């Protein structure tokens, strides 16, 4: 006869363990100590077996019956409930051992082995640290979108909307890596795309008309500060690389005879080597810099040590000293200036300009085609741009 909660509560311990049946193999074992333990007796593979469901009242009568029914369903499929229970416990243990932080560290280690730039890795580590207290110790397969929203909202509350957006993106990268390595089934960040405040896009300041840009060139050539700072700004104007690509440049990257600067993949945004043609004027400037700094590794070392490169603050501070406010021009703005003025000239193919800027094409085949097909045009464009520079500085 099935048990009832009233009967179970009234059961008293005896000198020996006593079983009280509920039907279908489910029974309650009352121990002399007073503990009441759920057990399921069943046969599998011709053998009598026993499965524990936990203790009453932690496991209620209804829950014990539900577990019995689940076990019976497994038996109908020729699955041993005891073995399945072991597998479930192993899976749960593995899940709890696979924390978000552990998977994140694996992803960072993989990125490092793939040659990602240290600056990129450092930024990702910093972003992930913003969420570590909230989800770092949580099993990655159990983390919900609501949990991820907690650190995102905290960053957002400080007014750092762009940081919150990037944090969501890097958390999503960790989840997609977990999915690829069979440790998570979905990416909860996908549903959070519309939850965050969109950051206001602010374009880097740049001078994009010829009179203003020519005035900048004249000011740079007349700069009375550090010669290295002056020549770095001249090369930014002539070659318009990303500031970090120039500041961290090493002498072995330059082939002055062949007039080529090969920026290594580790320092380019697109993570591939980027070759830039050097005009005659650029060669002259580099030769001048080599007379000062040629004994060291870095083309533009810091003022107080040759082991570190010149800082971007040094370049921007020089622009401020020349009277160009941060709303007028930045060291990164030389790229926008060149892009605008070269396109405005209508002398050069737009794809040749994009290739010279080191931007990504539509796909790998197209990029490979650009590098080959537009090299000669980029060489001519470099000389033309250099001539405009020379005319402005004279």
CATH topology of domain 5-95: Double Stranded RNA Binding Domain (3.30.160)
Residue 269 known to be catalytic:
yes
**pLDDT at residue 88 in the model:** 80
Residue 49 known to be catalytic:
no
**Helix 364-373 vs helix 350-357: angle between axes, to the nearest 10 degrees?**
100
Mean pLDDT in residue range 57-77: 92
- Catalytic hit among 176, 275, 369, 380: 369
| Model confidence at 96: pLDDT above 70 | no
145-176 pLDDT, tens digit each: 999 999 999 998 888 888 888 999 999 999 99
63's CB contacts (< 8 A; 6+ apart) are: 53
**pLDDT at residue 127 in the model:** 93
Binned at pLDDT 50, 70 and 90, residue 195 comes out as confident
Strand positions, DSSP E, the chain: 18-23, 26-30, 36-44, 47-56, 254-255, 260-263, 274-277
Residue 223 known to be catalytic:
no
- Catalytic hit among 39, 154, 259, 269: 269
Cβ proximity of 26 and 40 under 8 Å: yes
- Report the length, in residues, of the chain: 394
| Model confidence at 343: pLDDT above 50 | yes
**pLDDT at residue 363 in the model:** 44
Q: Where are the alpha helices (DSSP H) in 45-203?
A: 61-76, 81-97, 100-113, 118-131, 145-157, 161-180
**Backbone phi, psi, residue 269, to 5°:** -65, -35
Mean pLDDT in residue range 295-301: 94
Nearest to 81 by CA among 90, 62, 68, 92: 68
**pLDDT at residue 372 in the model:** 59
Q: What is the CA radius of gyration of the chain?
A: 34
The dotted CATH code for 100-192 is 1.10.150.130
Cβ proximity of 386 and 280 under 8 Å: yes
In angstroms, the CA 189 to CA 199 distance is: 18
Mean pLDDT in residue range 219-238: 95
Residue 16 known to be catalytic:
no
Mean pLDDT in residue range 388-393: 90
Whether the CA torsion 234, 239, 243, 246 is positive or negative: it is negative
3-state DSSP assignment of residue 298: strand
**pLDDT at residue 200 in the model:** 59
Binned at pLDDT 50, 70 and 90, residue 285 comes out as very high
pTM for this entry = 0.55
Surface-to-core class of residue 15, CB atoms within 10 Å of its CB (0-12 exposed, 13-18 middle, 19+ buried): exposed
Cβ proximity of 137 and 127 under 8 Å: no
**pLDDT at residue 368 in the model:** 52
Domain residues of the chain, as ranges?
5-95, 100-192, 210-393
Nearest to 175 by CA among 133, 126, 138, 130: 138
To the nearest 5 percent, what fractions of the chain are helix, strand and coil?
55, 10, 30
**pLDDT at residue 175 in the model:** 94
In angstroms, the CA 328 to CA 334 distance is: 11
- Catalytic hit among 274, 335, 370, 378: 335
- Catalytic hit among 27, 68, 124, 242: 242
Range scoring the smallest mean pLDDT among 135-144, 174-183, 357-366 = 357-366
Q: Are strands 18-23 and 260-263 parallel, antiparallel or unpaired?
A: unpaired
The dotted CATH code for 210-393 is 1.10.443.10
In angstroms, the CA 199 to CA 197 distance is: 6
């Amino acid at each position: 006869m099935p048990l009832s909660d009233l009967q179970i509560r009234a059961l008293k311990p005896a000198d020996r363990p006593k079983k009280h049946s509920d039907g279908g193999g489910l029974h309650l074992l009352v121990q002399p100590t007073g503990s009441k333990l759920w057990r399921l007796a069943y046969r599998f593979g011709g053998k009598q077996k026993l499965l524990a469901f936990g203790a009453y009242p932690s496991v209620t009568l209804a829950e014990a019956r539900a577990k019995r029914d689940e076990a019976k369903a497994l038996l109908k499929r020729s699955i041993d409930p005891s073995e399945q229970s072991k597998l479930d416990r192993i899976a749960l243990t593995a899940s709890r051992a696979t924390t978000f932080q552990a998977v994140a560290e694996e992803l960072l280690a993989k990125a490092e082995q793939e040659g990602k730039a240290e600056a990129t890795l450092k930024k990702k580590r910093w972003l992930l640290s913003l969420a570590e207290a909230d989800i770092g110790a949580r099993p990655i397969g159990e983390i919900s979108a609501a949990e991820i929203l907690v650190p995102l909202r905290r960053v957002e509350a400080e007014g750092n909307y762009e940081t919150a957006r990037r944090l969501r993106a890097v958390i999503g990268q960790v989840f997609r890596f977990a999915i690829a390595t069979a440790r998570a089934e979905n990416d909860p960040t996908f549903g959070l795309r519309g939850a965050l405040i969109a950051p206001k896009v602010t374009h880097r300041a740049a001078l994009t008309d010829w009179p203003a840009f020519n005035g900048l060139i004249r000011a740079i050539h007349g700069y009375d500060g550090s010669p290295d700072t002056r020549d770095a700004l001249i090369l930014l104007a002539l070659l318009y690389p990303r500031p970090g690509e120039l500041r961290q440049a090493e002498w072995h990257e330059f082939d002055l005879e062949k007039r080529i600067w090969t920026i290594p993949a580790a320092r380019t945004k697109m993570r591939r080597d980027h070759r830039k043609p050097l005009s005659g004027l650029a060669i002259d400037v580099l030769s001048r810099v080599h007379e000062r700094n040629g004994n060291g590794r870095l083309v533009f070392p810091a003022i107080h040590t040759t082991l570190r490169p010149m800082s971007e603050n040094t370049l921007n501070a020089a622009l401020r000293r020349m009277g160009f406010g941060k709303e007028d021009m930045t060291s990164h703005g030389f790229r926008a200036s060149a892009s605008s003025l070269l396109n405005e000239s209508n002398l050069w193919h737009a794809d040749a300009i994009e290739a010279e800027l080191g931007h990504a094409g539509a796909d790998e085949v197209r990029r490979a085609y650009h590098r080959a097909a537009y090299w000669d045009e980029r060489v001519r464009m470099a000389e033309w741009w250099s001539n405009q520079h020379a005319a402005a500085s004279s």
